[in-house]
Chains A and B, each alone.
Chain A
């Protein structure tokens, strides 16, 4: 071995605990805050301001009521954007994290924690804005952007729960779907979507055959908004497990 003036060989580094590793992974997702935070906030503000300007124009043109059916761009946009983030995470951040020596398990745990963090943050923001919107009677114009009127009066906690569950659902939906691609690439996607189409058709056929259309409608109305949202949480949890199973055997192929 070496003698004389050469230094000792670098010994192994001390292992870190799971919480620290997950934290490092979350930090990695937030290393470039532009993508998960600044950009969506900027776009959201822009959309809102643009809509506000249009509402003002319409209102001043005479028909103050015509504003009533303005879009619900708030929730819709954020939800889709977050789904895209989830897909990008699986596609680009996954192979990068592997290059940094992160295990698949730590990657997924860290990413899931990141999704939850974002979901909570955005849900809180949207809830607050929704409450303000209702309190100001639609920004003084009867407009609806953050708090669609058809949802009724569910209060701040209600809005938070609604946005949270929706965001979580789309996060894990995006992650699982992207997981199929990362695991099985293009062929996997064809099989996946093909199966999806078959499954949807089969379900519809089944519903018609068993004439359970009414039963389903009853189920939904009985559950109500919050029941359905809670069911979506169950689905999100299931999807998160699916994503985990998919990534465990995925490889960062170029």
Chain B
């Protein structure tokens, strides 16, 4: 857990990553709040906050008395949201750094091409 953003966000993000990567498919049960809290060594209230956020954004749904499950279409929705942020979160910093190092756009495309061939 890094100090960066609120911990509940980090918990939510970790679950989101697992959904995107496919290790938590549609309908899969998410670990209980207590299990999450114990694993991350955080207060259960914080874990609850993260999970509640995912329920609110439609990534998870709650089944009373049983637990939390990955909602249908969650993966697609998350991918779409991430794609929207991709430009701001990855492209912009990449361009900034390239500019700082004096790499022009042509050289940048070159590098990307080379890397893709690997």
Contacts and interface: CB of A to CB of B under 8 A. Distances in A.
Chains A and B bind each other:
yes
Classify the interface of chain B: helix, strand, loop or mixed.
Answer: helix
Classify the interface of chain A: helix, strand, loop or mixed.
Answer: loop
Interface in A1-41: 2-6
B68 interface: yes
A232 B34 CA distance: 63
A6 B52 CA distance: 13
A4 B32 CA distance: 9
Interface in B19-48: 32-34, 44-45, 48
B67 interface: yes
Interface residues of A, number: 5
Interface residues of B, number: 10
Contacts of B87: none
A73 B19 CA distance: 83
B62 interface: yes
A56 B51 CA distance: 85
Contacts of B33: 4-6
Contacts of B68: 4
A150 B81 CA distance: 102
A3 B45 CA distance: 10
Nearest to B55: A4
Contacts of B44: 2, 6
Contacts of B34: 5-6
Interface string B64-79: 0001100000000000
Contacts of A6: 33-34, 44, 48
A6 B46 CA distance: 13
Nearest to A5: B32
A215 B51 CA distance: 88
Nearest to B37: A6
A3 B32 CA distance: 12
A3 B34 CA distance: 12
5 contacts: A2-B45, A4-B48, A6-B33, A6-B34, A6-B48
